[in-house]
């Protein structure tokens, strides 16, 4: 799955020198300063109760290499690097050159005990490698720092059009948060105030206790989160072909995040057990709701998407993250790739729970897909041109809203 108008790519290993983010298709004239627009998002991704010691070492910042001049994008490819501070401790193990013959083998930090749930085993089999580090360094969720850097640029672009993307955590392990009747106006201000990014204080305390218990037991926890985009106009995506349907594009992007095993749009699986009369969102006339074409829905169980097209209601994507596969105790059976002997899976420094961080990565992926869909519909080589096209569409919708369209 690739984006259509806004291409992005990442490179880099978890303990390599740094993570590279490359974006193409950002229109010219978008105000962009990494300290203001990108670094705060990187900091949000680093936070969350349950992260490991690595996050105390890192202090992620984006360094721009190209694509911006005097505070505005040029329309040229945007290149950013997030340097890994921990690299200093890994220069031997992650060196580009072959090791000296007398190098201490321990310093190379090879790993031969694949962790169930990780890319370790399938990766070495597929790529013809012996040392699982050749796989795990890239499979690591550290890569999401570069995704969040790209997502921050997408958010900045969407923000210019009044589209905002936020998230919150719905559950961690078996602890489920109560969802408020109405989401806060500034969703991220509310969820970021919680160490687990939940909107229910009692549940947040129970979630943190569950994380503490898992940590003591040397275990890990997964959970679920919800990404919400507001201000999205009706008409992004298309019903006409499978790969233009926006729900599929969003689900694919969110499912591509490390450890994500399930994605729902709106009420998702819940809707499957409910009669249609209680699932679908009734249509009412509301001329003031310009972005919805002069209509309002009684509910938003569809998660802002019908037929693969946005409705103008908030876009809602939910995801389930499995528990992290690196276990400190009760390590699962595995096999030593050198000898074929039964052994316990490898362990190394890791997180206990990264669901709050995954929600921030979810925002980035949703923002990138929405920005892509915006550029697909409205085009424009510059922000001025994009906005002119966008405003023209809103003018058309507003005319329809009067009933004379
Ligand atoms: C990290 C995500 C996790 C962390 C990693 C930093 O990666 P993984 O998917 O490999 O478990 O554990 O830190 C380390 C690998 C480490 O050395 O502690 C991130 O999101 O930045």
Whether the per-residue pLDDT at 109 is higher than 60: the answer is yes
Q: All domains of the chain, ordered by start, with CATH? A: 7-96+110-401 (3.60.150.10)
Q: What is the DSSP string of 321-350?
A: EPPPS--SSSPPEEE-TTT--EEEPP--S-
Please determine, for residue 383, whether its predicted confidence score (pLDDT) is greater than 70. Answer: yes
pLDDT at 286 over 70: yes
Q: Determine the distance separating the centroid of ligand 1 and the alpha carbon of 141, expressed in angstroms.
A: 6
**The predicted structure's pLDDT at residue 4:** 84
* Tens digits of residue pLDDT in 75-105: 999 999 999 999 999 999 999 999 999 999 9
- Provide mean pLDDT across the span 47-54: 94
pLDDT recorded at residue 405:
47
Residue 97 alpha carbon to ligand 1 centre in Å: 24
User: What are the CB-based long-range contacts (under 8 Å, 24+) for 335-339?
Assistant: 335/113, 335/114, 336/112, 336/113, 337/112, 337/113, 337/114, 337/124, 337/130, 337/132, 338/112, 338/130
Residues 208-232: tens digit of each pLDDT: 999 999 999 999 999 999 999 999 9
| Rounded (5°) CA angle 147-150-153 | 150
Closest CA to 17 of 66, 78, 88, 80: 88
Closest of 117, 358, 109, 131 to residue 219, by C-alpha: 117
Task: Specify the pLDDT at position 185.
Answer: 95
Q: Looking at residue 390, what is its pLDDT?
A: 98
Average pLDDT in the chain: 96
pLDDT beyond 90 at 188: yes
Residues with CB under 6 A from ligand 1: 14, 52, 54, 140-142, 144-145, 258, 324, 326, 349-351
Per-residue confidence band for 3, with pLDDT thresholds at 50, 70 and 90: confident
């Amino acid at each position: 799955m690739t984006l259509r108008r806004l291409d992005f790519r990442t490179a880099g290993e978890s303990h390599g020198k740094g993570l590279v983010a490359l974006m193409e298709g950002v229109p010219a004239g978008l105000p962009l300063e990494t300290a203001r627009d990108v670094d705060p998002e990187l900091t949000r991704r680093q936070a969350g109760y349950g992260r490991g010691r690595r996050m105390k070492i890192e202090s992620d910042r984006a360094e721009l290499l190209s694509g911006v001049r005097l505070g505005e994008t040029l329309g040229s490819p945007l290149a950013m690097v997030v340097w890994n501070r921990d690299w200093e401790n890994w220069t031997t193990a992650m060196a580009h050159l072959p090791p000296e013959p007398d190098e201490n083998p321990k310093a190379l930090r090879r790993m031969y005990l694949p962790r169930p749930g990780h890319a370790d085993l399938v990766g070495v089999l597929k790529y013809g490698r012996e040392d699982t580090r050749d796989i795990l360094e890239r499979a690591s969720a550290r890569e999401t720092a570069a995704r969040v850097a790209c997502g921050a640029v997408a958010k900045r672009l969407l923000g210019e059009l009044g589209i905002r993307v936020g998230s919150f955590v719905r559950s961690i392990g078996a602890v489920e948060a109560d969802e408020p009747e109405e989401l806060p106006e500034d969703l991220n201000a509310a969820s970021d105030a919680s160490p687990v990014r939940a909107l229910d204080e009692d549940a947040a305390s129970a979630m943190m206790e569950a994380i503490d218990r898992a940590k003591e037991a040397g275990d890990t926890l997964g959970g679920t989160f919800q990404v919400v985009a507001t201000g999205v106009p009706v008409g992004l995506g298309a019903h006409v072909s499978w790969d233009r349907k926006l729900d599929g594009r969003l689900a694919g992007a969110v499912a591509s995040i490390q450890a994500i095993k399930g994605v729902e749009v709106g009420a998702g699986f819940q809707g499957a057990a409910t009669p249609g009369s209680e699932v679908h969102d009734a249509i009412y006339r509301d001329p003031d709701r310009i972005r919805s074409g002069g209509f309002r829905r009684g509910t938003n169980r569809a998660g802002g998407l019908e037929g693969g097209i946005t409705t103008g209601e908030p876009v809602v994507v939910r995801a389930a993250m499995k528990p992290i596969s690196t276990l400190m105790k009760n390590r699962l059976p595995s096999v030593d790739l050198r000898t074929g002997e039964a052994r316990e899976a490898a362990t190394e420094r890791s997180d206990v729970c990264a669901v709050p961080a995954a929600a921030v990565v979810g925002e980035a992926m949703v923002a990138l897909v929405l920005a892509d869909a915006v550029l697909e519909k409205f085009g424009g080589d510059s922000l001025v041109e994009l906005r002119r096209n966008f405003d023209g569409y809103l003018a058309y919708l507003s005319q329809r809203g009067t009933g004379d369209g």
